[in-house]
Structure 1
């Protein structure tokens, strides 16, 4: 395999310091080693050297993301289980140990989806999801916030690299393209979403430029990424998805990109959930006690203990709302 060496996407410097060197410890797609470097000029962290666009696909596990069609009954069951794990009945369900242990993985903080909130409050204008999968699931926010579901509010469209996922979207009459360069020049959007996809792209600046050019005046971009300043990356620096995560963002990095392209950060929030620590324990990146954290009560207690870190900006995931000013 041939790896490509790159300069910093933000400032162009080729002077960087190695901060992490590891193989794929989470998905086990390769035994090869990769490095994360920190730009000596602007501080951006990125994978270097890295697989080229032609090579990167082979490092994704077959079940990595939401590219397939999900039966409606599975979607409903998943929503029910999430409600059981995070609702007021959780304490009762937790009294059944086997059920409580299975639902523990679904315990997570309630983070309102800015996209769904915008349209529910009467927001107008077309919606584009970059990295939308099959359009049936919006990652953390599930089916209700997906491209397919948001058709009830507005005209929707997607950008998705998976040909199989694009075919499913096309069957539902949703405009979808394989790359942002294929989006017709005349198409403008009130909302653009990137759910845990910006860290996978080979040039973040290309996507910020697209957002700046395609947002309507007053439009917003909703970006969610792993937070490289998060608690888990502080206690377990190896807990990164190499080599498929090409960039490792902090809040200041997103703000710097936004400012460069004339965009304004309107809101940001970090958050964590217990399942990520369990997965790190399973992978041997944290003590095995995290892999065996037990039942739903333990998971909810852990989530409460994580909240001060979330509030301090140390949550493991980062949600940023960016707006385009203008008349």
Structure 2
């Protein structure tokens, strides 16, 4: 799709606020390096940040190529099992990235399941799993491993009402064109007492304040909304959900990737390569910085958060 055929649209705040917005920043696609400039605005009434104007649903596929990094990073990998020491270290360094309440296994839906590694993990824990995935290629990859996955947007899928015990969405709500409608639809599929666990970037973090358009988690134009703890709580409550907890993830990965963008713009490529490093280098660096990430999380200043909400009994 050529850039001149990408259709843009402007939409008001999904919370029904009066039409009064303030420009915050302008940025471009840094994940896929595809063309286009996009503005982020803040609603004067509720403070919700959104990308506006944005690609229409029909045009959005241009910004989700087959090699879109989240698709490639969620392939199911066969494992022979980790040793006890390795599992203990992993639990000790828990980032809270995919934390869920303590629940007995039941029926679970993952929205935005990509290639299915989380479905695989939860199925191995006894859950009856199914997924929804926008990318046909990623959905096909998940189905190849035996999982029921609906291809398409959340808006295009129909499930039975009150059938789910748990719904998860890891870094997906910010991608939806109508997150309020999506949350209401999930509410209808959930049993009374069911939980919704979501992770989203935290636009109230120090990372965003420091890096602005260079913030790694901004990811324009794929991310259409940019939440803070306050604005995601308002959105969930308007959809009927009761917010029980907001966990600030113990990660600083976006901080280093954002610094890499800044150094790249300055032309300091050698320093950028040293800061960003190879994947194995980054894992070791994040482990070393885990205590600092824990402190930042206590003060709500890491770049990602996980939210638990419940459908009233």
The Cα of 1:251 is off from its aligned counterpart by 0.8
Instruction: Say if 2:204 and 2:228, in contact at 8 Å, map to a contact too.
Output: yes
Write the mapping of 1:140-155 to structure 2, written as runs, cut at 5 A. Answer: 146-152=118-124, 153-155=126-128
Q: Distance in 1 between matches of 2:165 and 2:257?
A: 36
List per-residue Cα deviations over 1:126-181 (Å, max 9, x = no partner).
10000001212xxxxxxxxx112322412211111111222233344432222334
Q: Secondary structure at the match of 1:216?
A: strand
Structure 2 residue 262 is matched with structure 1 residue 284: yes
The TM-score normalised by the length of structure 1 is 0.78
Structure 2 residue 196 is matched with structure 1 residue 221: yes
2:294 to 288, 307, 314: 307
Corresponding residue for residue 318 of structure 1: 305
Classify 1:108/1:278 alpha carbon distance in 2 versus 1 (closer, same or farther; 3 Å).
farther
Q: Distance in 1 between matches of 2:15 and 2:146?
A: 37
Corresponding residue for residue 164 of structure 1: 137
Classify 1:203/1:27 alpha carbon distance in 2 versus 1 (closer, same or farther; 3 Å).
same
1:179 to 128, 138, 153: 153
The Cα of 1:262 is off from its aligned counterpart by 2.3
Q: Distance in 2 between matches of 1:25 and 1:249?
A: 19
Structure 2 residue 108 is matched with structure 1 residue 127: yes
Classify 1:87/1:11 alpha carbon distance in 2 versus 1 (closer, same or farther; 3 Å).
same
2:26 to 11, 15, 21: 21
Q: Distance in 1 between matches of 2:235 and 2:257?
A: 31
Number of aligned residue pairs: give it. Answer: 290
Classify 1:250/1:206 alpha carbon distance in 2 versus 1 (closer, same or farther; 3 Å).
same
Q: Distance in 2 between matches of 1:71 and 1:185?
A: 27
Q: Secondary structure at the match of 2:233?
A: helix
Q: Gaps (5+ residues) in structure 2?
A: 1-5
The Cα of 1:118 is off from its aligned counterpart by 3.1
Classify 1:203/1:112 alpha carbon distance in 2 versus 1 (closer, same or farther; 3 Å).
closer
Q: Gaps (5+ residues) in structure 1?
A: 89-106, 137-145
Write the mapping of 1:1-327 to structure 2, written as runs, cut at 5 A. Answer: 1-30=6-35, 32-61=36-65, 62-66=67-71, 70=75, 72=77, 83=86, 87=89, 109-111=94-96, 113-115=98-100, 118-119=102-103, 123-136=104-117, 146-152=118-124, 153-177=126-150, 178-180=152-154, 181-186=156-161, 188-238=163-213, 239=215, 240-284=218-262, 292-293=274-275, 299-326=286-313
Instruction: Say if 2:119 and 2:130, in contact at 8 Å, map to a contact too.
Output: yes
The Cα of 1:207 is off from its aligned counterpart by 1.4
Instruction: Say if 2:43 and 2:49, in contact at 8 Å, map to a contact too.
Output: yes
